[in-house]
Each structure stands twice: as structure tokens, then as C-alpha cells.
Amino acid sequence: MIKRLVIAVIALSLVVVGIVGFERFRSKMIDDFLSGREAPAVTVPVYEVEPRPWTPVISAIGTVVAVRGVELTVEAAGIVTHMGFSANEIVEEGQLLVRLDDAVQVADLNAGRTQARLDEQALERTKELRERGVTSGVSLDESQARAESSRAQVAKLEAVLTTKRLRAPFGGTIGIPQVDLGSYVTPGTVIATLQDLDTLYVDFKVPEQQFPLLKIGQTVNAGPEEGALSMEGKISGIDPRINPATRLVSVRAEVDNGDAQLVPGQFVQVEVQLPLETDVLTIPQTALVSSLYGDHVYVVREAEQETDRLVAQQVFVTAGRRTGGMIEVVDGLEPGASVITAGQNRLSNGAPVNPSNDVSPDVSPDGELGKAETSTSEAEPDKADAEGAEQQGAAEKKIAADAADAGTHEPDVSEPDTEKATQE
């Protein structure tokens, strides 16, 4: 019984040893097979670095403000008897918008005008009598004073009546009414907002370091989001004082809003166009890789020992200003270098590459990107994975064949141990 148990344990140990040995042998053969093969070249898009014209900009975040915009209120208290507008209506300057109950004021004005006409007639009669010498000069003076007092009283009553009526101070777009017919309003009650949307202000702030670059009349592009700065205007005001708390300077630009793309209070992106510069080295923003060790790019160069093979070489650069999808390269690159613009996560220093712009959109000198052929670029990693799987499958087939040939020798190794165990 003990002898059978020992034989079983020895047999099980031999099986385990055989399995472990085969796995090690298989791994070694795979490593030997793959070590002799070069990694397939990765197809990558490239961008030729050349000195180009460069229009630097100052980017900021701004707020749209109406050149003429007010909250309409009334000067007197009363009940609303007439509404002369509706929401989002275009109103003209002087248009009657709201009228309060003014029956008393109209009656007083009519009485004042009647008294004024009576005093004017009395003055005319006094003048005729004075010319004939029937009356004295004192009577004429008194008649003139009463006539002037009546005219002043009429003007006062007209002014009082005006406070019961709200008219548009300028032409523009009126907002949502805040009162209804029959509402009782008091002085200061907001009736609606009125905005002139033809021309708008864009207020923004820039750091004090860029203050010397600003000038009245500089071109400004604004829009609701970056990449859509279709509104153009000019700087109309620069605050001569820098805020000591924020170290920012306030700037105002005037923008033509003929198609009403912007509205007051809206958030916008702003770019101030600076003078054109020449011979500036730039690269697409997608080519720059940021890491803890600094910014770097991958440059396509010939292999040191094999001139017919291209490899990716990591080059650290100093990045400068950015605009329109492009980055200024201050140091690290020379004109004529080919930088890789996509797929850097699949690269390492010295990795073989195949430059081809068929897998990525072309980048214009202005930094504008064309339509991306994403299907081609996405298929590239899958193709590389398929090639790797095919190579591994071929390696496993070869190893299996070698193992079959080597399997006849495995019993020879274990036979002495089996005989020794049998003798024991």
C-alpha cells in the first residue's frame, strides 16, 4: 500500500515537472522567435516645420454689454390703462409704451389752457387800449404777467401729464412686459427692458503684462465659443489704471452686431489681434506632448545605423504662444524637421515609423484642420494588433512542432529516477 502511494506521488511529481518544464520551454522559444523580428513600423501623420507668418493674439473672456440699454420705469404712481408693446417687439424712438390713468391731469391741463387763452386775449385788449392812451402802463404790465403765468402753468401741467406716459427713449428691442393692464405701479417699478442690439460693447480684462500691447483701434474678434469668433470689432477704451487686487486691466471693444448673434450679458471668447510677425516656427497643438519632465515632440529621423529606416526620436522643446490650433516653438526644433502630430501614445524613443498623412487631417499653415479620416487612423492599431497575433500564432505552431520532436527525450530524463524509486 505504501509502495503504491509512493509511486503515485512520484508519478504526479513527474507530471508537474513536465508541465512546468514545457511551459518554460515554450516561453523561451517564443522569446527567441520574437527577439529576432523587428517591431512593425507605425504609420503616423507628420507636419513639416517651416518659418511661417504668425499673427499673435491676446485671448480673454468677455461679457457683452449694450451700447444703449435701460430698464424702463415710470416717474409717477398710477394704474396702467394702456400697453403699447409686446415682448421682443422692435420699437421706435418716442413710441408710447405705457400710459397710466391721467384723467385728472388731462382735465387740469385743459383748464390751464383755457385760462391761458383768456389771459392772452386780455393782454391783446390792454395793448390796444394802451396804444389809444386809455389805460395806464401798470395795467399793461399786469396783463403781461398774468399771460406769462398762464403759459408757465400750462407747461407745468403738460410736464405732469408726461409723467403718466412712458415713451421709448431710443429705438431697439423691448423685452418681456413686467406689468399688465390694471396693475398699480409706483415710481421705480420696472416695466420692461429696452436694448439696442445693432452695436454692442464687449468688456474683458487682460493681465498687466499684456497692457503695453494694447492700443485703441486694434482689431478684436469675439464669439460665443473658441473657434467661432465671427464677430469683428475695434478696441474703443482701455482703462488707464491696473486693478491692484487682481493685476488686470479693463478693456472695452465695440462690435457690430447687425445679425444679432450676441445679446447683452452673454459670455464670449475674445481675441485681440496683434501685429503680424514673420519667420516664426509653429507646430500643431496635437504634436506637443506635455509630461512631468517637460514638453516634447516626436521627430521623424533616419536610424543611426540603418539610413533606409525611419524612427521616432523624442525632442524636448520650449513652447510659446498659442493661437488657432498652432503653438509657437521657441527652442528645440530646426526648420525642416518633421514632427508627428498624432498617435504619440503608441510611440517610444527609437520606434520605427512610416510617415503618412493619409491617416490624419492635413494641417494648414493657419492651424486649421481638415476633416479627419478617423476610420483609417483607428484601423491602424487594429492592424498592428492583428499582425502581432498572427506572429504569435506562428511562433506557437513552431514551438509545438519542436516540442513534439523533443518529447521523445523526456522519458529518458525521468527513467533513472523511476528505476531508483522502484529499487527503493
Is there a single domain that holds both residue 249 and residue 309? no
pLDDT number for residue 216: 94
If asked whether residues 268 and 295 sit together in one domain, one would say no
Do 269 and 288 have their domain in common? no
User: Exposed e or buried b for every residue in 6-27, given b needs 16+ CB within 10 A?
Assistant: eeeebeeebeeeeeeeeeeebe
Name, in order, each residue with C-beta under 8 angstroms of 338's C-beta and a sequence gap of 6 or more. Answer: 46, 47, 48, 49, 299, 300, 355
156 and 87 co-located in one domain? yes
Contact predicate 169/80, CB 8 Å: no
Alpha carbon distance 155, 108 (integer Å):
11
pLDDT tens-digit profile of 86-127? 998 999 999 999 999 989 989 998 998 999 899 888 888 888
Give me the domain span that covers residue 203: 59-67+195-277
Question: Which residue, of 188, 205, 239, is where some domain finishes?
Answer: 188
Chain segment 210-248, per-residue pLDDT in tens: 999 999 999 999 988 877 788 899 999 999 999 999 999
Cα 200 to chain centroid distance, Å, stands at 20
Residues 6+ apart with CB under 8 A from 168: 72, 91, 92, 93, 94, 95, 97, 174, 194
Domain of residue 287, CATH code = 2.40.420.20
pTM for the model stands at 0.60
Is there a single domain that holds both residue 93 and residue 170?
yes
Residue 364: what pLDDT? 54
Residues 79 and 168 in one domain: yes
Looking at the structure, tell me whether residues 78 and 183 fall in a common domain: yes
Number of structural domains (the chain) is 4
At which of 329, 350, 372 does a domain end?
372
Q: What residues does 296 pair with on adjacent strands?
A: 289, 316
Based on the domain organization, do 98 and 124 belong to the same domain? yes
- Residue 397 host element (H or E): helix 374-406
- Among 188, 222, 255, identify where a domain stops: 188
The radius of gyration of the chain from alpha carbons, rounded to an integer in Å, stands at: 45
Q: pLDDT at position 179, please? A: 92
Residues 310 and 298 in one domain: yes
Question: 241 and 302 share a domain?
Answer: no
Q: What is the pLDDT of residue 412?
A: 39
Q: How many CA atoms within 13 Å lie on the side-chain side of 139?
A: 14
CA distance 229 to 226: 6
Torsions phi, psi for 204 (to 5 deg): -150, 170
Q: Are residues 107 and 50 in the same domain?
A: no
pLDDT of residue 403: 43
User: pLDDT tens string for the chain (424 positions)?
Assistant: 787 788 888 888 888 888 888 888 888 877 776 665 666 888 889 999 999 888 888 989 999 999 999 999 999 999 999 999 999 899 999 999 999 998 998 999 899 899 989 988 888 888 887 777 777 777 778 888 888 888 899 999 999 898 899 999 999 999 999 999 999 999 989 999 999 988 899 999 999 999 999 999 999 999 888 777 888 999 999 999 999 999 999 999 999 887 778 889 999 999 998 888 888 899 999 999 988 888 999 999 888 777 678 888 999 999 988 877 889 998 989 998 999 999 888 888 888 888 888 765 555 545 444 444 433 334 444 444 444 445 445 545 544 454 444 443 333 333 334 333 333 3
Query: Tell me, what's the pLDDT at 376?
Result: 38
Give the CATH number for residue 153: 2.40.50.100
C-beta neighbour count of 329 within 10 angstroms = 23
Q: How far apart are CA 239 and CA 205, in angstroms?
A: 10
Answer yes or no: do 177 and 126 share one domain: yes
Provide the CATH number for the domain around residue 260. 2.40.30.170
